[in-house]
A = this chain, B = another copy of it.
């Protein structure tokens, strides 16, 4: 099930990347590139940080075709997409959580310490969007949004705690997924945000 959600999620992420590329008037190569990086960049950075080679997508060529196609198709239907805003937000939430849990599993399988497992989950969940924003020359939106990275943090932590309590992987995944999704959707719906830190002082 996590795989199905994963495929839906990378498709949705690729589409969000394509729209960001369109806002910068990129050519269709740029669109495909940003779509790829948004969808698969998080897992790539996670694997590079953990030393987990070969990197995931290099062993799954269909994922590559999927996200590039999703990016290119987006250019055709972009004008209708704002009608689907809610759908996208839900798909993105699904993706955030699926990515996080998959990232945790990879790090667990390599025997990393719990805090590194959590960070691996968060890197997988949010780094695609960070790379997208850096390549589009803007401050990453994930640093200023409604609870987003925090949802990833909560999901990963919950997953580890339940795992320590002896819960099986399937039940654990279901519970973590459900609670994480609820938290993210509530955060969007109610506009929950983390407190912001504004610093204006100049030192010179």
Checking B28, B58, B143, B194 against A197 with a beta-carbon cut-off of 8 angstroms, the contacting residue is: B28
**Would you give the shortest CB distance from A190 to chain B, in whole angstroms?**
16
* B78:A196 contact, CB within 8 angstroms: no
| Cβ proximity bits A78-112 to B, threshold 8 Å, 1 near / 0 not | 11011001000000000000000000000000001
| B138 & A137 in contact (Cβ 8 Å cutoff) | yes
Contact A26:B61 (CB < 8 A) given known A51-B55, A82-B203, A199-B78: no
CA–CA, A139 and B24, complex, Å: 8
Cβ distance A41 to chain B, nearest Cβ, rounded Å:
11
The contact of A50 among B54, B197, B198, by CB within 8 Å, is B54
Are A196 and B25 touching (Cβ within 8 A)?
yes
User: How distant is A83 from chain B, measured CB to nearest CB, in Å?
Assistant: 10
Known: A139-B137, A203-B85. A51 touches B54 (CB 8 A): yes
Output the least CB separation between A89 and chain B (Å).
Answer: 10
Contacting pair A201 B58 (CB below 8 A): no
Q: Say yes or no: A33 contacts B64, CB within 8 Å.
A: no
A163 within 8 A of B: no
| B-chain residues with CB within 8 Å of residue A51 when the two chains form the complex | 53-55
A30: which B residues are within 8 A, CB to CB?
Answer: 140, 142-144, 197
Residues of B within 8 A of A153 (CB): 29
Q: List 16 A-B contacts (CB under 8 A).
A: A18-B197, A22-B198, A23-B199, A26-B197, A27-B193, A29-B149, A30-B143, A30-B197, A31-B197, A34-B143, A44-B49, A78-B201, A81-B201, A82-B203, A135-B143, A137-B137
